[in-house]
Structure 1
Amino acid sequence: MTTSERVLTDERADLTQTLGRHRGFLRQTVRGLTDEQAAARTTVSELCLGGLIKHVAITEERWAWFMVGGAEAMQKQPVDWAAAFRMTEGETLAGLLDRYAEVAARTDELIATLDLDASHPLPTAPWFEPGARWSARRVVLHLIAETSQHAGHADILREAIDGAKTMG
């Protein structure tokens, strides 16, 4: 049974619906753009809209790996973080959105099935408290915050392209 066939209630439904809402804001921001527009840097930042979609998908996937297998699983594949924020040769907005949808579906399935109290030590990084652990629930809350933050970034970038706004 997939998440779309299962009726989630309570906390799992709240988490899945909230994450889905913010994913939707991010997807809505890129609606109707060409690949060239999605790859364009519209501010002094290195960010582009396609790169934000790519980054959020990579980040969500890695945190899903963490929920299942901890920091070691999260770091099982190296990432070129600079390239993760831009569209590279051969990438299309449609392809990045498809990949994001695949990652989102897998994450939603984890939210529906994982023990939300299960936790793992965080990877060693200067932005994490040494020795801290995050539960699957805490990871999902982080994904909501990360997705929401980047949806806001995307809204600014889109407005610089053609004046369109996700909200407002």
Structure 2
Amino acid sequence: MQLNQVNLSYVPREDRLLLRINTLEGAEFRFWLTRAVVARMVAGLAHSEEVQMGSETQQWTNPALQQALEQFDREVASEGASASSPPSSPFCARFEAKASHYPLGQQPLLVVKVEISPRDRHAALTLTLASGQTLSINLNAGMVSSINRLLCDILKGADWNLTHCAVRRPALRMAGTETQH
């Protein structure tokens, strides 16, 4: 199963997030995410993002460079999940609801547990449903950042007081070649 698009929306009447995932094969999955599940998900995504950034970067000590890299990361992440993203982007605001089948049914299923296992170049996202079924999805570094950004943007309207959305690049240092003034 390959992801095509991911969509998140807050449903005030349910006080839950609706997660919709469609695949390149034309399948759509729909899930309800509660506040508790989202809190664990955001914390896990933030941790995965830090692990992935730490494994892909060299270590630097220049504070100006550190600040520039953090700003770049924020801009890339926000562009990846913006309304102006092309429809072919997995994280665009315009979700293409053209599913040919719904393997778990058309009604959203309640997620009771979420696990995120960070790796060097990806993270494994495992959703456990109330029925006991599990769905595992491998997310590359860009997907982790984009889903994290989507969640943080959606949570602004949910009034859930979750504070895990401030993700920072790990401290960067480059040994031996940098001059300090």
TM-score (norm 2): 0.24
TM-score (norm 1): 0.26
Bigger Rg, which one: 2
